[in-house]
Structure 1
Amino acid sequence: MSYDKVFLATAFTSRSKKEVDVLEDCLFCIDKEGMIARIAYPGDSDYEKILSGYGQTEHFTRIPSGSYLLPGFVDLHCHASQWAQAGTALDIPLHDWLNTYTFPSESKFSDLAYADMVYTDVVKTLLANGTTTALYFATVHKEASIRLAEICAERGQRGLVGKVVMDLETECPTDYRDADSATALRDTEEFILKVKEVGRTAKQGVYPVVTPRFVPTCTDEVLEGLGALAAKYDTHIQSHCSESDWAHQHVQERFGKNDAEALDGFGLLQDKSVLAHCNFLSDSDAELFAETGSAIAHCPVSNAYFANSVIPINRFSAMNVDIGLGSDISGGFSPSLYDNARQAVMSSRMLEDGVDPRLPAEERGTANSRITIAESFYLATAGGGESLSLPIGRLAEGYAWDVQCLDPSAESARIPLFDADEPLIDVFQKIMYLARPQNIRSVWVQGELVHSLS
């Protein structure tokens, strides 16, 4: 078999939710579609044949010794429009933050030139941070939302893009909402059809996503209509679910049930659904997620500011709920899933140990809540791919060649690797805890180079 590209590298990938595989000095053979067709290990019968056949050709890339490959990250929850306000107003409650800062900021995207500027920059920034796939909220503006999909296609990022729907007058600003339910549904259908056209031009795939902002900003009519559109066009679905005390209680008061059951009643929980936050899911809610194949986008940095709680990731994972990581720009200030992976570990430790020193240790926390950096890495990669039902997030045969190349010796972001005999699994841990964008030398999506510092 002939290959389009062959890489010689040492790499890290998830073996399971809790274990990391070290792929040392392997040959990664990529086909013309950008998929991993073969991984040859030293000692395999065809290893030397592949190396001699490709090693001196333009199709061969040798990753330098001391640099490492990781799967590209999968960001399951990012408000692309909020990149413009990232790092501001994180000290006020969620409801106030939305109405005072976020909705006025998002309303600016009626200006296509402004939208193009911000969206181009956020896609470029996420790629530079190792994020090869992103599930994006845009705004209510149809044309600007289509432009975000086009930018993903042009820049080579695998983008799943949603035109935001919010039409409930009592919870939405008069100058930033869909005109009415019928207009919201018509615009969403036109958006879906246009983005499907855009996606056919992108090797890596670009996808439309049905996107009710969250139950508190949507009428029953529009929620029902969006469920029907998702079924008609077999699209992904995204929204927020049980994020904070305020949002969770709003849905309970309106419907007499939790978000999960309400969303399911409108046909919005299914195998291509990704719901952000989900901090207040009950066990029966989590069982509903597992039954429908719906996934949780865990946003640990954002949750520290707005969710009023720490989500019990271990408990939901044990219930077979698909879970990945999200940056939640700009509720989360950082575009880096490295930062979010680190915070996921820290938050889980705080949940297990508790945070109120006035309580005895045995009463202070929630037992068996902590996760490791290996588990957090899984959430950022393979967990994200499984949540989207796409062959991404792993370095394995049959998966897309979405990878980031890490150079620990970057002058301005050196990772302390001084012992030549340091176990590679320890090198992996140091990368996950210390890597910065300066360390990410190159990024490929679907076999194509989309970012390079060299």
Structure 2
Amino acid sequence: MYTNVFLATAFSSKSPKEVVVLKDCLFCIDEQGIIDRIVEPDHADYERILDEYVHTHAFRKIDEGSYLLPGFIDLHVHASQWAQAGTALDIPLHEWLSTYTFPSEAKFADLEYAKVVYEDVVQTLIANGTTTALYFATVHKEASVLLAEICAERGQRGLVGKVVMDLAQECPDFYRDKDTETALRDTEEFILKIKEIAKTTKQGVYPVVTPRFIPTCTDEVLEGLGALAAKHDTHIQSHCSESDWAHQHVQERFGKNDAQALHDFGLLQDKSVMAHCNFLSDDDAKLFAETGSAVAHCPVSNAYFANSVIPIKRFAGMGVDIGLGSDISGGFSPSLYDNSRQAVMSSRMLEDGVDPSKSAELRGVNDSRITIAEAFYFVTAGGGASLSLPIGRLEEGYAWDVQRIDTTVPTAKLPLFDVNEPLLDIFQKMMYLVRPENIREVWVQGELVHSRG
């Protein structure tokens, strides 16, 4: 009946603020890689299922000292920027794009180069526990298709977008779509090709309509992309109100904020994920909630380029779907553990304030901090809800996307000395202290895609 049965202790989000402990449960996985049943030790069927499977190849007992977490969901990755990760993070966003990023992305016209970088970034993210990634590729159609093919082959659930940027005055001649007509034609051909690739995968790959952001796109291409997304029922991604410069560009051009402009072009809907969104007004956030559009919160990248700390707790309280993104390479780290930690730290800095010349009552924004449980929700269940996919939770009916964390690895041993330490305390230590060497195995849709040692 079951392809796999795991006996393990695991953690999953029950709600944005509550982590549930699934202690010594049997996780029964069907042939499609979906969790068919989770059987707790006090259930009447527990011993029967255990007896039936314990001596079969389908059974796996997770070793003591190891725990299962849902695979992490990265809602914002520039796959091509992996090649420049960790460089030039000390200059303004506009200069960073023009001087470093656009020349680096232009190299992906070379498919051999693209293959080397894309294979490495996909495998690196998997090794860091990321089972699903929402990728920006480049303007190059063929290289963007290649990224989707690599996701399919490596077993990662990849949502891939061919980047569109056709506004000549904001894009260099050496790196942009030839013209609006070409951009829209290439995008539609890309969508159809990825839908064909998706038929060959178990975990799924998905095409994503991807205007880079309003400052690099003509009105005509934005309108055309909205129409293509509706025609083919695709996901949509872009950047929204990231920095002072980007936010002001849209206000000066349209007399409105990014959110309303994107909505007017048909680019805010239930499958839309917009990165950053630091400068959303309350009306913008309400529009996100009404349309089902999600925010990809990129806390490491925001520290470098967003000119602000996003009031993420306020937006979540308004009903906006929120997940986390690494934003490689605006964010230097491929680890969503790092971004979960930074999400908590940034929220505390927003609440407490950062300017010691101001009095405590004037220094920060009250009621802004989030907990590590909330960050965990964003990086798992929140990411799944943002993508409208049954992922990110260890619950029946959800995909078996899982990472096994070994807390006893000699080179990265977690400080666990009390045999009676509460499991939720162990969970918190994992979220704050896990390094890649602790992530021993990763499954996507029931398939083992990474094993370390």
Give the TM-score normalised by structure 1: 1.00
The whole-number CA distance in structure 2 between the counterparts of 1:445 and 1:329 is 22
Query: What CA RMSD, in Å, does the superposition of the two structures yield over aligned residues?
Result: 0.4
The whole-number CA distance in structure 2 between the counterparts of 1:411 and 1:129 is 18
Partner of 1:437: 436
**Which digits, 9 at most, give the CA deviation of each residue in 1:281-337, with x for residues without a partner?**
000000000000000000000000000000001100010000000000000000000
The alignment partner of 2:25 has SS state of strand
The whole-number CA distance in structure 2 between the counterparts of 1:43 and 1:321 is 37
Alignment of 1:317 with 2:330, yes or no, is: no
- State the 1:410 CA deviation: 1.0
The alignment partner of 2:149 has SS state of helix
Partner of 1:307: 306
Alignment of 1:87 with 2:86, yes or no, is: yes
- State the 1:414 CA deviation: 1.1
- State the 1:31 CA deviation: 0.3
Alignment of 1:295 with 2:301, yes or no, is: no
- State the 1:118 CA deviation: 0.2
The alignment partner of 2:15 has SS state of coil
Where in structure 2 are the equivalents of 1:10-409 lying within 5 Å?
Answer: 10-409=9-408
> Which residue identity is paired with 2:407?
P
The alignment partner of 2:162 has SS state of strand
The whole-number CA distance in structure 2 between the counterparts of 1:301 and 1:95 is 18
- State the 1:123 CA deviation: 0.3
- State the 1:411 CA deviation: 1.5
The whole-number CA distance in structure 2 between the counterparts of 1:278 and 1:132 is 24
- State the 1:405 CA deviation: 0.1
Partner of 2:3: 4
**Which digits, 9 at most, give the CA deviation of each residue in 1:18-66, with x for residues without a partner?**
0100100000000000000000000101000110000110001110011
- State the 1:231 CA deviation: 0.2
The whole-number CA distance in structure 2 between the counterparts of 1:154 and 1:412 is 31
Partner of 1:416: 415
- State the 1:413 CA deviation: 1.1
Where structure 1 has 5 or more consecutive residues not aligned to the other structure, the ranges are: none
Where structure 2 has 5 or more consecutive residues not aligned to the other structure, the ranges are: none
Percent identity over the alignment is 78
The whole-number CA distance in structure 2 between the counterparts of 1:101 and 1:202 is 35
The alignment partner of 1:348 has SS state of helix
- State the 1:202 CA deviation: 0.7
- State the 1:154 CA deviation: 0.1
> Which residue identity is paired with 2:178?
A
Report the count of equivalent residues. 453
The whole-number CA distance in structure 2 between the counterparts of 1:266 and 1:126 is 32
> Which residue identity is paired with 1:386?
A
> Which residue identity is paired with 2:278?
N
The whole-number CA distance in structure 1 between the counterparts of 2:94 and 2:300 is 18
The alignment partner of 1:15 has SS state of strand
